[in-house]
Amino acid sequence: MYFKEKLLIFVCCVYKEFEIKYTTIKKINLLTLILLFSTVVFAQTNITSNVKENKGEEQETEKIEIKKIFDLGFGIGLDYGGLIGAKATFIPIKYLGIFVSAGYHLVSFGWQIGVTGYFLPKTNMKKIRPYAKVMYGSNRVIIVEGASQHNKNYIGLTPGVGLEFRFGAQASHGLNIDLNFPIGSSEFKDDFDALDKNPMIEITNPLPIAISLGYHFEF
């Protein structure tokens, strides 16, 4: 009888000790799981935050406006000195350009100097830019077949309007189309009237408008 009581007491003690250890292990495991879950959530939140910040930085980089400083073009028409030539424009501010051009004007060297005002800023943010301009230089010419002594290049004022079409990620190259309205000088009008009255010479009235077309590169 005494032996059975001792055995029962021993079993109860072992069971209680096992129960305490098992409960402690359960608590430790639960705490470990909670810590692990918190770490994963924090890491995921941190990664998401970094991704958003990187995307924000990329968007800000894409939106940076870069003003153009210099424009170089090659083309045909009065804007390029006459028939064919080149045009260089300096842009001190993004709404204003100062240009010079030189080329061949049918009978002699042709040139222009002028100012361009841009309705939209001349930056990488705008790929289509309308503008108005005024220039002074070669804008009329007289050619008489068989009487080259009358051939002459005339200087005058020419207002005009145009459009820039730019291509590429930085809008750094593209087409220029211009519509010009040459104003003949008094010298041109006098010479033209004299030739028009000469029955031996057939002469055609000049067109009131002149179109220019060129391809440009911006820096």
Measured between alpha carbons, how far is 185 from 10 in angstroms, rounded to an integer?
127
pLDDT band at residue 42, thresholds of 50, 70 and 90?
A: very low
Measured between alpha carbons, how far is 46 from 209 in angstroms, rounded to an integer?
65
Mean pLDDT score of the chain: 82
Report the SS3 class of residue 112.
strand
Q: Which residues pair with 104 in a beta bridge?
A: 84, 109
103 and 33 within one domain? no
At which residue do the structure tokens 């001792």 appear?
6
**Best mean pLDDT range from 22-26, 48-52, 60-64, 212-216:** 212-216
60 and 74 within one domain? no
40 and 18 within one domain? yes
80 and 12 within one domain? no
171 and 98 within one domain? yes
Q: Structure tokens of 123? A: 């930056």
Q: Which residues contact residue 195 at a Cβ distance below 8 angstroms, ignoring those fewer than 6 apart?
A: 142, 144, 150, 201, 203
What pLDDT is stored for residue 146 in this prediction?
86
Inform me whether the pLDDT recorded for 53 exceeds 60.
Answer: no
pLDDT tens, position by position, 87-122: 999 999 999 999 999 999 999 999 999 999 999 999
Last residue of a domain, one of 64, 89, 113: 64
Domain CATH number, residue 118: 2.40.160.20
Rounded to an integer, the average pLDDT of 49-70 is 65
pLDDT band at residue 147, thresholds of 50, 70 and 90?
A: confident
195 and 158 within one domain? yes
pLDDT tens, position by position, 116-143: 999 999 999 999 999 999 999 999 999 9
What pLDDT is stored for residue 10 in this prediction?
46
Q: How many CB atoms sit inside 10 A of residue 60's CB?
A: 9
87 and 29 within one domain? no
Closest CA to 87 of 155, 127, 128, 133: 133
Last residue of a domain, one of 64, 83, 101: 64
Residue-range definition of the domain harbouring residue 212: 70-218
Considering the chain, what percentage of its residues have pLDDT values greater than 70? Answer: 71
Last residue of a domain, one of 64, 87, 113: 64
pTM of the model: 0.71
Q: How many domains does the chain have?
A: 2
Q: Which residues contact residue 84 at a Cβ distance below 8 angstroms, ignoring those fewer than 6 apart?
A: 75, 76, 103, 104
104 and 46 within one domain? no
